[in-house]
Chains A and B, each alone.
Chain A
Amino acid sequence: MRTRPEFPYTRLAGTLRGFIGKASLWEGTDHLLSVTGTRFSEDYRRFYYRDIEAILVQKCMRSGSIGLWIVCIFACIITSSIAIRSSNKIAWPIACVFILLVLYRLVVSILYSCRCYIQTAVSREELPSLQRTWTAQKTLGRLRINIAEAQGMLPENIAELREAAGAVNATPEPVEANTANANRQEESASLGFNLAIATFILLLVDAAISLWFLNAPSRVLNSIWLRSFSIGLILAEGAAAVLALLKLSKFRHLRPLRYVLFATLAFLAVEIWFSLYFREIYTQITALGAATAFDRVSHWVQLISGNLAILLGAGGLLLVLLKWQTYRRGNLSTA
């Protein structure tokens, strides 16, 4: 650690640089200095290592610097429009770089962002400069060493310390009697997840079939085999979605997944209505002599339906994978 005598601080990882606001963290000899402010002034908060009781990192969505977003999106639009209009071979790679940059920022903002808090005996303050999980981990690694030097190490099992200090927030420990209930919940969650995965995979199969027969004439689409298969697939999807909803209904933490399953059911209802009445509509329109026009409409309906199914299926699978991690950690609660 190299510091100048007049500035006894070393910069820690994580800096927030906005258009006006800024924030950073500095490591001192006996305290952590949190610097916030504008371009023309700075405010300081000191957290002495001996006083830090806990550090909390809460995973959440954070956009990061708005200015950087604006620059990235603006550059993306400009380079893409240049690439589309001109035949320049360099324009597309440059546009792709900016598109990838925007996608990267999007993924990081959604999946790898956090809020970090320091708790002392008298306050709990946010550290605004720590926005990404890896930055938070890196900084906490440094802080851990300093706090250990100031306070000593904590034993692996802190139950004895807790008892000695007198637990104020005495919440009962999970008892043996709850084990059977917990096992049932675990089974229920596992089955629910599998059913949700099945629903979304079937939905993707449905989308693939819709897009495969995209340019097929109404005569082919109207065949009894294809219609039976399509209706069977939709019913299987619906049954899997309903069962998944029933199994996952107890878990409040899985609310987004349930919304996607409800959306899937609504989509399937529209699709089944269209499949059932397709023959009737086709007969009526053919009698009117407008079969070609109907083919065009059918093409668009299939295109929209296929894309919607892909969106729902892929989105649902992504959500299941995300929630699956939480489930594997054993952190799902039914309370």
Chain B
Amino acid sequence: MLILCPNCSGALPDWLLRTNQTKSVCPGCYKDLTIEVFPALFRERTVIDRGALALNEGEACCYEHATKRAVSLCNRCGRFLCALCEVDVDNAVWCPGCLQLDRPDLGVKALKKHRTLYDSIALGISLCPALLFFYPSVITAPIVVYLAIRHWKTPSSLIPRNKWRFVVAVIIASLELAMVALIVISIIVAAQKARR
């Protein structure tokens, strides 16, 4: 039950937290603060009983801790877990190993910490030639088309987002490719005319 001042990191005294919303000044750095506390601050911390961890003869031990008694199984890999190792994820018990977030086989949305926005990347790349010169489009347009096809179904942001960026990027890339083709054709035609 300790609230620290975000400015000076000093512990805010108890008498500042009389009601659930307090406008106050930090006694350490004199910054204006509004502090709002919730019942979780006063909740008793769960303490794991040492007796529950002790391993008796003939009992299964934890996969990670050979001296601790297993109390559950990991719902993904089936390893024995002690009270220290079991983690509650989406109403299931997981082991710390299965919680490695970058494993692609774990499709748990609640664990995702990072997403790459390929649609924004594609749109950015497709707009590059328009902002710089037209010539990069020879390289960028195929990249945009590749990104759109490759990542069309890749999960994008966790927050509401549709695919208009991919569509716009593909349209721009197609126009750029058409323009490149037109230029190439006109150069060939001009060269043939010159030869005649």
Q: Do chains A and B stick together as partners?
A: yes
A contacts, CB < 8 Å to B: 4, 7, 9, 11, 24, 26, 33, 35, 39-46, 50-60, 115, 117, 119-121, 124, 126, 140, 144, 147, 151-154, 156-159, 161-162, 164-171, 173-174, 252-253, 326, 329, 331-333, 335
CB neighbours of A335 from chain B (8 A): 27
Kindly state whether residue B120 has any CB partner on chain A within 8 Å: yes
Bound together, the chains give a CA A26 to CA B159 distance in angstroms of 8
CB pair A54 B34 closer than 8 Å? no
Q: Give, as a whole number of angstroms, the nearest-CB distance from A206 to chain B.
A: 32
Q: A60-B31, A119-B3 are in contact. Are A44 and B160 (CB under 8 A)?
A: no
Interface residues of B in 122-160 (CB under 8 A from A): 124, 157-160
Q: Give, as a whole number of angstroms, the nearest-CB distance from A31 to chain B.
A: 8
Q: 18 new A-B pairs (CB below 8 Å) besides A42-B159, A173-B14?
A: A4-B160, A7-B161, A9-B159, A35-B158, A41-B117, A51-B40, A53-B38, A54-B3, A56-B35, A57-B34, A58-B32, A60-B31, A124-B6, A153-B39, A169-B1, A169-B11, A331-B24, A332-B25
Q: Give, as a whole number of angstroms, the nearest-CB distance from B44 to chain A.
A: 7
CB pair A33 B14 closer than 8 Å? no
CB neighbours of B120 from chain A (8 A): 39-40
Q: A4-B160, A169-B12 are in contact. Are A253 and B42 (CB under 8 A)?
A: no
CB pair B25 A253 closer than 8 Å? yes
CB neighbours of A157 from chain B (8 A): 18-19
Q: Which of these binds chain A: B50-58, B64-72, B108-116, B186-194? A: B108-116
Q: Give, as a whole number of angstroms, the nearest-CB distance from B26 to chain A.
A: 8
Kindly state whether residue B13 has any CB partner on chain A within 8 Å: yes
Q: A42-B114, A140-B36, A162-B1 are in contact. Are A333 and B44 (CB under 8 A)?
A: no
CB neighbours of A7 from chain B (8 A): 158-161
B contacts, CB < 8 Å to A: 1-4, 6-7, 11-15, 17-20, 23-25, 27, 30-45, 110, 112-117, 120-121, 124, 157-161
CB neighbours of B37 from chain A (8 A): 53-54, 154, 158
Contact of B42 (CB < 8 Å), options: A45, A119, A126, A162? A162
Provide a sorted-by-A list of 12 A–B residue pairs whose CB atoms are within 8 angstroms: A40-B117, A45-B113, A51-B40, A54-B37, A56-B35, A58-B34, A147-B38, A161-B42, A170-B14, A171-B11, A326-B25, A333-B27
Q: Which residue of A lies closest to B25 (CB)?
A: A331
CB pair A54 B14 closer than 8 Å? no
Contact of A165 (CB < 8 Å), options: B7, B33, B44? B44
Top 7 A-B pairs, shortest CB-CB distance: A171-B13, A59-B32, A53-B41, A57-B34, A331-B25, A165-B42, A161-B42
Contact of A40 (CB < 8 Å), options: B7, B24, B31, B116? B116
CB pair B31 A158 closer than 8 Å? no
Contact of A59 (CB < 8 Å), options: B31, B115, B157? B31
CB neighbours of A169 from chain B (8 A): 1-3, 11-14
CB neighbours of B113 from chain A (8 A): 43-45
CB neighbours of B39 from chain A (8 A): 151-154, 161
Q: Which residue of A lies closest to B11 (CB)?
A: A169
CB neighbours of A158 from chain B (8 A): 17-20, 37, 42
CB pair A41 B30 closer than 8 Å? no
Contact of A173 (CB < 8 Å), options: B15, B38, B160? B15
Bound together, the chains give a CA A24 to CA B159 distance in angstroms of 10
Bound together, the chains give a CA A146 to CA B186 distance in angstroms of 65
